[in-house]
Amino acid sequence: MDYSSFLQMTEEFSLLAVMVILLVYDIFAGEKSHRYFQPVALILFAAHTLLTCIPREAFNIAGGMFQYVPMQTYVKTILNIGTLIVLLQAHKFLNDDSNYIKRGEFYFLTLSTLLGMYFMISSGNFLMFFIGLETASIPMATLVAFDKYNKKSAEAGAKYILSAVFASSISLFGISLIYGTTGTLYFNDIATLFTGTPLQLMAFVFFAVGLFFKISLVPFHLWTPDVYEGAQTNITSYLSVISKGAAVFVLFTLLVKVFGNIISDWQPILYGLAVVSITVANVFAIRQQNLKRFLAFSSISQAGYILLAIISGTALGMASLVYFVLVYMFSNLAAFGVLSVIEQKTGKVQMTDYNGLYQTNPKLSFVMMIALFSLAGIPPFAGFFSKFFIFSAAAQQGFYVLVFIALLNTIISLYYYLLVIKAMFLNANENPIEKVTSDFPAKISLVICTIGIMIVGIISTFYNQIAVFSFSM
Amino acid sequence: MDILNNMLSGQVPIEAYLGVSLIMFFAGIYGFLSRKNLLMILVSIELMLNAADINFVVFNRYLYPGQMEGFFFALFAIAIAACETAVAIAIIINIYRNLTSVEVGELDEMKE
């Protein structure tokens, strides 16, 4: 058999090369050269991001197990940039004495989850998809439990792994029923054989649970706040942006490519999930005092908004989904970046601690403000445009009531985002958090995020580039 | 006696296997929701994973005898389940070291 066609998987091989180099470096480097581990890792990963960012022709390898379309390059590049920002923000945390020895593991585990997401995105077969899904979620659990001596971290790790395996075993049962009713595992063949018999519908519902869990939509969201609070802040940001971004893209492609025949059956399911996710998450977010829990509920409601793009199932929906993920990545990582800088210095994450932050840390407050404005969808920032495209994608297919409910909910979400901004700028505080100077990599990451929030919305090249390669049924 | 002989010598119908796997699956879900010990929860999840594996093998053997896809998927799923169990047990051991208990009720550090 000719294996040379496998070399076309350049993204995967390049990431694998980075992982292997870092692993060998971590094991064999001496005390002295070990000091350069993080800069080398960051440079290697940045090089990987740059090298793999050019879309290529679509191709299939291994008989359709691995299917590449140009859109995937954009999604993978977005995930790469997000991972790079997270790694920059984690730089200081990994230089602490207690974590110094674990740096190699952190990089290896993070990048292996990313590799799993790559395979999940490019899969053309349920076996490939399932392996990718598990490669993305098992190392994630060890990352969540990264701090071995912290009770909260251990508890979050247990909650994550048990609910993740629970969800994926339901998903696996669904895949087995899909196999039983169609006799194949290839997406292209299933698409024609999946006609919507009752057993197939049950199989679809079982299967979808696994992805809904990863996106943390409302009936499947119960792990989210606890895990987000217990995990280390940088890992939380990775979990909330990268892992979620990959899962929503895969959900869209699967629903359209594989389950396109039963669109009239899955649209009502997504409709209900979107309404419940946005509303419930907003209501719960209002009463959060811990900012990490607050951002957890905010990310659940953002996931609900993403469903508006998926429900349309059109090319416009695809483009607006990828665009939304890009903008959401910049805004959420900016918010988490500020949070992690302050938490690493002072250990404070409560909303009351942020009272009067503007007096001492005007720059950090500014970044936090535009990040929250972007998440809420206020016009000059990118968040407004991404929400606008998503609403128009749903409205184009006639989901006017859904769009109306989502619009009402943006008003509620504006209220709780403004609560944080009010705490930072208006609330008086006798002794606010002292002046925090962030380290150089964290500064770079915050600057990247700020620039992203500012220009991605205004410069239309981003959206147009994405829209060129978007596909639908 | 004839009936017994028939049952013993004839082929087991596919429904019997599917019934077993379905019962295993829902017993797993029930166990996951009702058990109070982390290890027992893990055992319940294993039941669910194995139910899916039985399904794959049975569908392949009875409905699509010419193929190997279902067998391979079952093999891969078993390997993945082993990884999951390994990681989950490592995390549970870590919890035991921190809390000296593996009861679900003890995991209440984060509550609203």
Residue type at A356 in one-letter notation:
G
Full DSSP string of A271-337: HHHHHHHHHHHHHHHHT--BHHHHHHHHHHHHHHHHHHHHHH-SHHHHHHHHHHHHHHHHHHHHHHH
Q: pTM of the prediction?
A: 0.92
Nearest Cα of chain A lies from the Cα of B57 at a distance, in angstroms, of 9
Cβ-based interface (< 8 Å): residues of B facing A = 25, 28-29, 32, 38, 41-42, 45, 48-49, 51-53, 55-56, 59-60, 63-64, 67, 69-70, 72-73, 76-77, 80, 83-84, 87-88, 90-92, 94-95, 98-99, 107, 109-110, 112
> CA A151, CA A230: separation in Å to the nearest integer?
8
Is residue B53 predicted with pLDDT exceeding 60? Answer: yes
B101 φ, ψ (degrees, to nearest 5): -165, 150
Intervals of chain A under pLDDT 50: 473
Q: What is the reported pLDDT for B112?
A: 59
> CA A311, CA A268: separation in Å to the nearest integer?
9
Q: Which residues contact A102 (CB under 8 A, 6 or more apart)?
A: A94, A146
Report chain B's mean pLDDT, rounded to a whole number. Answer: 88
pLDDT tens by residue, A301-313: 999 999 999 998 8
All domains of chain B in start order, with CATH:
2-104 (1.10.287.3510)
> CA A295, CA A341: separation in Å to the nearest integer?
16
Chain-chain contact of B94 with A154 (C-beta, under 8 angstroms): yes
Q: What is the reported pLDDT for B85?
A: 93
Higher-pLDDT residue of A461, B19: B19
In B, which residues are within 8 Å of A226 by CB distance? 110
A185 φ, ψ (degrees, to nearest 5): -115, 0
Q: What is the reported pLDDT for A322?
A: 92
Q: Could you tell me if the ipTM is greater than 0.85?
A: yes
CB A436 within 8 A of CB A346: yes
> CA A124, CA A188: separation in Å to the nearest integer?
8
Is residue B3 predicted with pLDDT exceeding 70? Answer: no
Q: Among A142, A173, A185, whose Cβ lies nearest the Cβ of B52?
A: A173
Q: What is the reported pLDDT for B4?
A: 66
In B, which residues are within 8 Å of A210 by CB distance? none
**Interface A-B: count of C-beta contacts within 8 A:** 119
Q: Among B49, B59, B98, whose Cβ lies nearest the Cβ of A154?
A: B98
Nearest to A387 by CA among A329, A333, A331, A323: A323
Q: What is the reported pLDDT for A242?
A: 93
